[in-house]
Structure 1
Amino acid sequence: MCFNLSSRKREVRRAKADEVLGGFVRKMSREPPVGFRDVLLKEGPEGFARAVRAHQGLLLMDTTFRDAHQSLLATRVRTHDLKRIAPFVAHNFNNLFSVENWGGATFDVAMRFLWECPWRRLQELRKLLPNVPFQMLLRGANAVGYTNYPDNVVFKFCEVAKENGMDIFRVFDSLNYLPNMLLGMEAAGTAGGVVEAAISYTGDVSDPMRQKYSLDYYLKLADELMKAGTHILGIKDMAGLLKPEASRQLIGALRDRFPEVPIHVHTHDTAGVGVAAMLACAEAGADVVDVAVDSMAGMTSQPSMGAIVACTKGTKLNTGISLEKVFDYSEYWEVTRGLYAPFDCTATMKSGNADVYENEIPGGQYTNLHFQAHSMGLGNKFKEVKKAYAEANKLLGDIIKVTPSSKIVGDLAQFMVQNSLTRAEVEERAEELSFPLSVVEFLQGHIGIPHGGFPEPFRAKVLKSLPRMEGRPGASLPPTDFQALEKQLQQAHGDDITSEDMMSAAMYPKVFQEFKEFDSNFGPVECLNTRLFLDGPKIAEEFEVELERGKTLHIKALALGDLTSAGQREVFFELNGQLRSVLVKDTQAMKEMHFHPKALKDVRGQVGAPMPGKVVELKVKQGQKVEKGQPLCVLSAMKMETVVNSPVSGTVAKIHVNSDSSLEGDDLILEISE
């Protein structure tokens, strides 16, 4: 891979991280002190919840291992770097409520971009951090995916996650759709986990002009979650919209209504008021708030751990956490964060930004949305994408925006910018436009029913004769046959298939397939340090890779061969003193070699790609008759899928692409003769 940060700078930063970490390790005792996980293991979920509520002072959840890097670094932090600091956290932050280290986008990104097994991450961190509860983000009936799964998949997923060391399941739904939440809560509870039902927050309860999501709306939803038996009540402020006054009103009202239940509040610091909001929540009665270590805090991440610790010191909210240890912890992440500079949101966002109160983009989506926009050729139009995001939200009826609903709004926003469409034009031309697949499926009811219902007549115009779903989407799905799935995976990948593998395949079949093929070809790349993983070795560089204790490879990079017509290069290297070579695809060179005819805009029958992406499905054949609006193919770019519909009625005269063809914007897909 080729990024803007030089290999030399990465090496210097890695050396600095080693030096910092070495100092920490020498100070640590052999066994970590008792933590809140010991309470959980002894007392169970109900006893744990009682202990949290009875605790004197404010408790903190550390998001550095998950949401902080999802928000700041596009979820790209590797297990390699998490493992290095985990023992330090075990020894010095035993009084944390929890460490959030799994779920959300980390599950598929681990396989899709880091070529890691997400389950292995959970297993290895559990060994290194045995005394602090682990917390994950569970998308209700969507588990850790972006779609619906059969009920037995969600239950099995929670069971396997609990077996691998997960403790607390923060269960939410992207639309606060209660049936989806209840399924996730039941699955987590049946697995023996601590259930934290989290209400996704949007709007502003302190603003009398914003009545769709009022205080009464949140209190009624909380009533239902309490009836369902949640152990902890969560507020998930995914975009950082919770202002101090709103914090006092919302948390104060919840504390008055539910005096015995622990309240846990999550926010993002996008506008720069996160610390103030979380202190207001704590003063109003919240038991736990989310923070990230200082060098991984702020902006689209969580509020600063050090700031909360310092502000509560000497008060009734005292966290009991050493500020000096926070400084040491932050020093490690300051150095490590530099290794991921190409993914850092500071490339485009230099400070907090109050425009979040207008666009309401979730912190965890912000950097991913920027990378998605860049991959679609909209990197220089990100300001327009943010404005279009607010307009897309209005088109969809002012919905709650968090994965996967936030992705739907983001897909529509980029579609609007890509095609230079205003909100009024989208509404007017809705019947003829080829909308992203996520938008179509949302309007069909694939992720549930939004508060206030679907927007009309926009929905009717987009769907036309397409079917609508009623009720909980996953309820109609047949259960997955795990025995058949296991046999299928054994045939494809050998007999060594685990229950963890089956869950990965059930959630992300194509991503898991590609991950297994990569792992079979290249082995456990998580053994490489981050500089080598991202940049690759320099010519004549010697390095070691420890596959396991006592098994180390000594490698020296020697030379690169010429580029072949297939876009490959022969790489020469020494492996334990033996000369070797391997053919490797030069993906950058292949992009530069790309040539494809463009669709002519003034020729009605020529259908061009509405965005850069890969053809994942062709729905027509040459010679086939098609009607105007009929689906022709599906394109995918950075998890955004778009159905390309026919602009005219006629016959498919020529197809210029195949499945898996990589296209740029306006590349010719096919020609239709009218």
Structure 2
Amino acid sequence: MLVKCTCHGSTYEIARRKMIRALVEFRIRGVKTNIPFLTSLLTHPTFIDGKCWTTFIDDTPALFDLVSSQNRAQKLLAYLGSSIKGQIGEPKFKGDIIMPDLFDEAGKKLDVSQPCQKGWRNIIVEKGPEAFAKAVRANKGCLLMDTTWRDAHQSLLATRVRTVDLLNIAKETSHAYSNLYSLECWGGATFDVAMRFLYEDPWDRLRKMRKLIPNIPFQMLLRGANGVAYSSLPDNAIYHFCEQAKKHGVDIFRVFDALNDIDQLEVGIKAVHKAGGVVEGTVCYSGDMLNPHKKYNLEYYMELVGKLVDLNIHILGIKDMAGVLKPRAATLLIGSIRKKYPDLPIHVHTHDSAGTGVASMVACANAGADAVDTATDSMSGMTSQPSVGAVLASFEGTEHDPGLNVNHVRAIDTYWAQLRLLYSPFEAGLTGPDSDVYEHEIPGGQLTNMMFQASQLGLGTQWAETKKAYEQANDLLGDIVKVTPTSKVVGDLAQFMVSNKLSFDDVQQKAVELDFPGSVLEFFEGLMGQPYGGFPEPLRTNALRGRRKLDKRPGLTLEPLDLQKIKKDIHTKYGSVTECDVASYAMYPKVFEDYRKFIEKFGDLSVLPTRYFLSKPEIGEEFHVELEKGKVLILKLLAIGPLSDTTGQREVFYEMNGEVRQVTVDDNNAAVENTSRPKADPGDSSQVGAPMSGVVVEIRVKDGGEVKKGDPIAVLSAMKMEMVISAPHAGKVGSIQIKEGDSVGGSDLICKILKPGEK
């Protein structure tokens, strides 16, 4: 096939531009073309100047460094086609979201076309962290932090709220919440989930939010020596990360450690100090301080607060991640800290899992807290934070007035009420408070995710059993402080116990032969720090089976990351690179690479309306996507072709701006549904079965290879939980039934390990 394109114009430059436009608009499918080369030629400076010579192409090898057209529309159709079954379910809200109006006291509509400039952040910008801390302590009321932009949707909606839906309400929020202590909007699970599931750059989110909300301090959750990862990293990675976070918009860093390990906390605190941020050194609250038999008592907390004060923190944070801080305990703890440290600002965080969150926050304010956490009404309660409306009503007529206009707060909530329905597929199905939290102590941000995980792993009907197993897992691990990542350790062990029908005694007695989840082994190694009271023995030794045991903070054993090499490698693989990319890679190398590959394949999905990001359109339904200002795609799903039995693919047909477009996509859902795998025979010791449902991320053996007892065979991943499947005995590997990327169910046959003489 030969296609010619001829363009002419009144000048050379006009003709050149016409040719470029013609090439950009060409759509030739099924065969390779030289369009990228021609585009490179037409845009070369020498060609633009009209100074080419006979051997110009031969003499200019740079012409062959081709960059394909972005072809954003076709990439977008490829994504829409690949997600024809939707991500998880149909949203309950399918209309256009109605934006709220704000009115002043005279009933005049406020102009929110520009962000508000008045707010507490001005003190940080103009006078620094110390002046901010003093102003907070001198404030007569009890200030509020709004968690809706991070912890609330992390706790209720699996952290799935997209950047576009935050930005849509940003300017209104800057006005309505101008007197906030802070807006918690970054860090924690939002960082990796943005790349892992939303296909977004978390740094891009931060920059865009900062531009639209310049007046309210931004607060992030920093996991001490872990940064925003799930295990410790080299110190230079933490310092580099904090420098970038401060530079791009974070003001207040809530620095905590999952084990309250002061050595781990110190790394994060010093990194924030160096970056110039406000240090909110944090104590994680666990158990029941009022129970005299519990290991975490008032003396424990007061000693820890003293160590944090010695590290020159600006603010003290109390993080009640499970919502187990009862009102009387809150009065005792906050009152004791206030008495000993009269000039120290105190900021308290809780979850409302048991329904006592509002009462506890009022108790904290009465005892001397300077700020407490709330969430907008429609995103509050249960595993989220207490309702801002309820707290405002409780403070009404008292000295704790936070200085917010309740009518503005309610107006903003009308937006979030609609948005929660839009993200309804990620709801965990909670119907009310759960006072069992005082027993199992599952953090609010984890409880809904564990329910979601249990459903995905086929354990949805065993939720009560899973909660009980969580208690037992915590006891097995030595009654540890439970917050990311240690809460994940307890949760992984609990789900492992339920999946494999293991009791408390079974785990202890069979530890030397069990394939524990990777997070449990990392905890026992000491990669998450040193737990108060030490590790449980002999379980630790039996589970590790000769693996190393760290007795100091893990960062001391880690070589500094070569950040320049990381930057160079990213540039080689993907072209463009920033310091933020380096920080993302340092935290999550594989997640970052998968994200960049996804973007290369499907393009920027931030332009796609959330409804169509989450679920497919109806056949014949028309919708619009604005790629950029002035460039709108009018799309309509026309038909979904049949699944090919041989390729596992299907054709999807769209109409785009009146033109029919066809995309061929892999239907991974159908492939999984149509796959039937043999099950391992539990009575045959040579057959190795999958301990639970998941995806095979790595195979470490080959057919015919020799293995010893305990050697790793494969690595299985299930909802962020990784598990190494090991050889039950020595022998020769045979009949491998899986490959990397396969989805497997519990007890599916992985391979056989034949003993000498067996066939």
Specify the SS of the correspondent of 1:10. coil
Asked if residue 70 in structure 1 is aligned to residue 154 in structure 2, the reply is yes
Specify the SS of the correspondent of 2:458. coil
- Normalised by the length of structure 2, the TM-score is 0.86
Bigger mean CA offset, 315-324 vs 66-75: 315-324
How far apart, CA to CA, are the structure 2 residues paired with 1:207 and 1:614? 43
Specify the SS of the correspondent of 1:195. strand
Aligned match of 2:682: 601
Asked if residue 320 in structure 1 is aligned to residue 403 in structure 2, the reply is yes
Aligned match of 2:342: 259
Equivalent of 2:473, from 392, 409, 414? 392
Aligned match of 1:41: 125
- Residue pair 1:205, 1:249 contacting (<8 A) in 2 also: no
Superposed CA deviations along residues 467-514 of structure 1, whole A, max 9, x for unmatched, are 1122110222111112211121112111x1111111111111111111
Specify the SS of the correspondent of 2:233. coil
Aligned match of 1:152: 236
Aligned match of 2:187: 103
Aligned match of 2:313: 230
- Residue pair 1:431, 1:462 contacting (<8 A) in 2 also: yes
Aligned match of 1:402: 483
Bigger mean CA offset, 426-435 vs 280-289: 426-435
How many residue pairs get aligned? The number is 666
Equivalent of 1:509, from 569, 583, 589? 589
Asked if residue 575 in structure 1 is aligned to residue 659 in structure 2, the reply is no
Rg bigger for which structure?
Answer: 2
How far apart, CA to CA, are the structure 1 residues paired with 2:345 and 2:578? 36
Asked if residue 219 in structure 1 is aligned to residue 302 in structure 2, the reply is yes
Equivalent of 1:626, from 699, 707, 719? 707
Equivalent of 1:173, from 245, 249, 257? 257
Amino acid paired to 2:271: A
Alignment of 1:475-554 (within 5 A): 475-494=556-575, 496-554=576-634
Aligned match of 2:452: 371
Superposed CA deviations along residues 516-556 of structure 1, whole A, max 9, x for unmatched, are 11111111112111111101222222222122223322222
Amino acid paired to 2:687: Q
Superposed CA deviations along residues 177-219 of structure 1, whole A, max 9, x for unmatched, are 1111000011111111100011000012222222x11101111
Specify the SS of the correspondent of 1:671. strand
Aligned match of 2:61: none
Alignment of 1:317-466 (within 5 A): 317-345=400-428, 347=429, 349-466=430-547
Amino acid paired to 1:190: K
Superposed CA deviations along residues 1-57 of structure 1, whole A, max 9, x for unmatched, are 4478646x4323xx2x23547999974344514100111111100000000000110
Bigger mean CA offset, 649-658 vs 380-389: 649-658
Aligned match of 1:53: 137
Aligned match of 2:266: 182
Aligned match of 1:590: 671
- Residue pair 1:21, 1:85 contacting (<8 A) in 2 also: no
How far apart, CA to CA, are the structure 2 residues paired with 1:390 and 1:275? 26
With over 3 angstroms needed to count, the CA separation of the structure-2 counterparts of 1:652 and 1:21, relative to structure 1, is farther
Bigger mean CA offset, 531-540 vs 451-460: 531-540
Deviation of 1:312 (Å): 0.7
- Normalised by the length of structure 1, the TM-score is 0.96
Amino acid paired to 1:208: P
With over 3 angstroms needed to count, the CA separation of the structure-2 counterparts of 1:519 and 1:21, relative to structure 1, is farther
Alignment of 1:9-48 (within 5 A): 9-12=92-95, 15=96, 17-18=97-98, 20=100, 27-29=110-112, 30-48=114-132
Specify the SS of the correspondent of 2:325. coil
Amino acid paired to 2:583: M
How far apart, CA to CA, are the structure 1 residues paired with 2:384 and 2:125? 30
Amino acid paired to 2:93: R
Specify the SS of the correspondent of 1:220. helix
Deviation of 1:576 (Å): 2.9
Specify the SS of the correspondent of 2:735. strand
Specify the SS of the correspondent of 2:611. helix
Specify the SS of the correspondent of 1:66. helix
- Residue pair 2:224, 2:269 contacting (<8 A) in 1 also: yes
Superposed CA deviations along residues 223-254 of structure 1, whole A, max 9, x for unmatched, are 11111110000000000010011001100111
How far apart, CA to CA, are the structure 2 residues paired with 1:531 and 1:92? 27
- Residue pair 2:355, 2:381 contacting (<8 A) in 1 also: yes
Specify the SS of the correspondent of 1:289. strand
Amino acid paired to 1:339: L
Superposed CA deviations along residues 573-625 of structure 1, whole A, max 9, x for unmatched, are 23333332222222321221112221111111000101111122222222222
Identity %: 52
- Residue pair 1:57, 1:319 contacting (<8 A) in 2 also: yes
How far apart, CA to CA, are the structure 2 residues paired with 1:493 and 1:10? 37
Equivalent of 1:134, from 218, 228, 252? 218
Specify the SS of the correspondent of 1:402. coil
Deviation of 1:460 (Å): 1.4
Superposed CA deviations along residues 361-390 of structure 1, whole A, max 9, x for unmatched, are 000101111122222111111111111000
- Residue pair 1:60, 1:290 contacting (<8 A) in 2 also: yes
- Residue pair 2:321, 2:444 contacting (<8 A) in 1 also: yes
Amino acid paired to 2:356: V
Bigger mean CA offset, 197-206 vs 282-291: 197-206
How far apart, CA to CA, are the structure 1 residues paired with 2:718 and 2:364? 39
Aligned match of 1:298: 381
How far apart, CA to CA, are the structure 2 residues paired with 1:87 and 1:599? 57
Specify the SS of the correspondent of 1:209. coil
- Residue pair 2:115, 2:214 contacting (<8 A) in 1 also: no
- Residue pair 2:323, 2:350 contacting (<8 A) in 1 also: yes
With over 3 angstroms needed to count, the CA separation of the structure-2 counterparts of 1:611 and 1:23, relative to structure 1, is farther
How far apart, CA to CA, are the structure 2 residues paired with 1:527 and 1:274? 37
Equivalent of 2:357, from 274, 287, 295? 274
Deviation of 1:64 (Å): 0.3
How far apart, CA to CA, are the structure 1 residues paired with 2:548 and 2:530? 15
Equivalent of 2:737, from 644, 656, 660? 656
Amino acid paired to 1:625: E
Bigger mean CA offset, 538-547 vs 377-386: 538-547
Amino acid paired to 2:552: G
Specify the SS of the correspondent of 2:714. strand
How far apart, CA to CA, are the structure 2 residues paired with 1:587 and 1:151? 40
- Residue pair 1:570, 1:582 contacting (<8 A) in 2 also: yes
- Residue pair 1:73, 1:344 contacting (<8 A) in 2 also: yes
How far apart, CA to CA, are the structure 2 residues paired with 1:5 and 1:618? 32
Specify the SS of the correspondent of 1:366. helix
- Residue pair 2:130, 2:314 contacting (<8 A) in 1 also: yes
Bigger mean CA offset, 230-239 vs 518-527: 518-527
- Residue pair 1:21, 1:332 contacting (<8 A) in 2 also: no
Bigger mean CA offset, 263-272 vs 596-605: 596-605
Amino acid paired to 1:131: N
Asked if residue 195 in structure 1 is aligned to residue 279 in structure 2, the reply is yes
How far apart, CA to CA, are the structure 1 residues paired with 2:733 and 2:276? 56
Specify the SS of the correspondent of 2:148. coil
